[in-house]
Structure 1
Amino acid sequence: MSSLWTPDGERPVGQAPGPAPARPETGSPSRTQPGADHEALAELRRQLLATPAAVVVANHAYGLFELAALHLSATPPRLDEARLAVDALGGLVDAVADRLGDARESLVDALAQIRLAYVQIAGAHQAGAHQAGAHQTGAQQAGAGEVSRPEPS
């Protein structure tokens, strides 16, 4: 891992990128290059160990933010899925914000933004559903009223 995406852009994590593991053009690495999958896994582990835990945790938190935003932007919004991602992000940030270093402020801001977006989208979605229900109920009542009116004598 040589950089980390944040809402402020890419940030280097302070290590020189290692060589990319060799990939065959066809087939799986284990069939064409014995031990290649183990070597690639070992390289990923070395990179992960060389990266501060705060950076890895922050990266996962940004992933939760993106997951929540993805569900909120669906048509129609997937509110239950978004709420789970927002709540998970909130739990993570609330639990370890003071240990996230440079990412703390960005994550606290991101959490506030995604919570606000959730409230706004959920409110608009519920209002739209309520209006659609009221419109349908009103139309049904008007239709029923026309049918049940007695004829003038």
Structure 2
Amino acid sequence: MKLQRELLDAEPAAIIANHAYGLFELAGLYLGTTPPRLADASLAIDAFAGLLSAVEDRLGEIANPLHDGLRQLQSAFVQVAKLDHQTPDAPSA
């Protein structure tokens, strides 16, 4: 009951941003494994992007750092994918 009350009293944009941040962290974890779990990271990044795209116009200023985080993840994904492709053990696609 207390948790429900806290959720109802919280700003919805903040709760949604918190969930988006969870996807950000999940993608980062997948990118940081050895070997990187690129397919899993891609799914988490796409979910983050989809969530942001669906509600960004209603998040106000909270959307700005989320967009920054999304760009960082996308850039990190490209860098990790390039490095992973260069390792001798990487499966060929």
Partner of 1:88: 47
The verdict on how the C-alpha distance between 1:132 and 1:118 changes in structure 2, with shifts beyond 3 A counting, is closer
Q: Classify the secondary structure of the residue corresponding to 1:102.
A: helix
Q: In the TM superposition, what is the alpha-carbon distance from 1:99 to its structure 2 partner?
A: 1.1
Task: Give the TM-score of the pair, scaled to structure 2.
Answer: 0.91
More helix by share: 2
Q: What is the distance in 1 between the residues matched to 2:49 and 2:88?
A: 28
Q: In the TM superposition, what is the alpha-carbon distance from 1:57 to its structure 2 partner?
A: 0.5
The verdict on how the C-alpha distance between 1:132 and 1:80 changes in structure 2, with shifts beyond 3 A counting, is closer
Tell me which amino acid in the other structure corresponds to 1:89: F
* Percentage of matched positions with identical amino acids: 48
**Higher RCO, Cα 8 Å, sep 6+:** 2
Spell out, residue by residue over 1:130-152, the C-alpha distance to the aligned partner (whole angstroms, 9 max, x if none): 8898xxxxxxxxxxxxxxxxxxx
More strand by share: 1
Partner of 1:61: 20
Spell out, residue by residue over 1:98-149, the C-alpha distance to the aligned partner (whole angstroms, 9 max, x if none): 211231100000000000000110111012248898xxxxxxxxxxxxxxxx
- Where structure 1 has 5 or more consecutive residues not aligned to the other structure, the ranges are 1-41, 134-153
Partner of 2:70: 111
The verdict on how the C-alpha distance between 1:125 and 1:101 changes in structure 2, with shifts beyond 3 A counting, is same
Q: What is the distance in 1 between the residues matched to 2:90 and 2:76?
A: 21
Task: Give the TM-score of the pair, scaled to structure 1.
Answer: 0.56
